[in-house]
Amino acid sequence: MIPLLDDNPAKLRPVVTIVLIVTCVAIFLWEESLGQASDSAMLLLGLTPNAFTHPGEAFGIPAWLTLVTFMFLHAGWMHVIGNMLYLWIFGNNIEDAMGHGKFTLFYFACGIIAGLTMILVDPNSHTPVVGASGAISGVLASYMLLYPRARVRVWLVVWPVWIRAVWVVGVWFVLQLLNAVLTPASEPGTAWWAHVGGFAAGLLLTPLLKSSAVPYFGPVEPRGPWANG
């Protein structure tokens, strides 16, 4: 399922969400401009678990700083486009529910916890972890807590359909969890456990950071089928 939009418009202008998207895209374009040297950039700025567990072998910027920088790097066009699409569709509502400052804290906390999860699962890995998907997983968890009844327009097999957010996010998370359990942590590829860790962080942090005026499992009034999310 590829999400296209939702029917849950936000009241606040999603300034933080827009800044995050623009920054990620700009950094990805910088990566692309490096050519083959982009691999070196990922080694320097990506999150490498071994750099935390064997600090004497670390190189480049301080390991703790990569808990932030890794969120802004992406490994290809589909990687960055997919992540930014999810952030655009779901991030504005969570920013609306928390406010700009708390949403910023929430986003980075989820991303950092996602990175720490990868260190815990595969502490000796020399493969750098990159991408905003851990932080965005937290956003999805928050969306499922606050707006499960919202409808999401998704591309399903060969045509677009409207599906409740609880099913879109729920199926997505089950797939992440299954892949995390069934795929060896040391196998290069998608950082499934980062998604699981970020999602868990989103569930735990949402009650602490959401506005008291925003209810859990809130009802969403019927809106036009093409209302932008």
Contacts of 19 (CB under 8 A, 6+ apart): none
Helix axes 133-146, 77-98, angle to 10 degrees: 40
CA 105/CA 53 separation, integer angstroms: 26
What CATH number corresponds to the domain at position 16?
1.20.1540.10
pLDDT at position 40: 86
CA 133/CA 83 separation, integer angstroms: 6
Q: Give me the number of domains the chain comprises.
A: 1
pLDDT at position 148: 95
In a domain, 220, yes or no: no
CA 214/CA 211 separation, integer angstroms: 5
Element (H, E) at 162: strand 159-164
In a domain, 159, yes or no: yes
Q: What is the mean pLDDT of each run of 10 residues along the chain (229 residues)?
A: 89 96 97 88 91 76 92 94 96 96 98 96 91 97 96 88 94 93 75 94 97 84 44
In a domain, 228, yes or no: no
In a domain, 219, yes or no: no
pTM (whole model) above 0.85:
yes
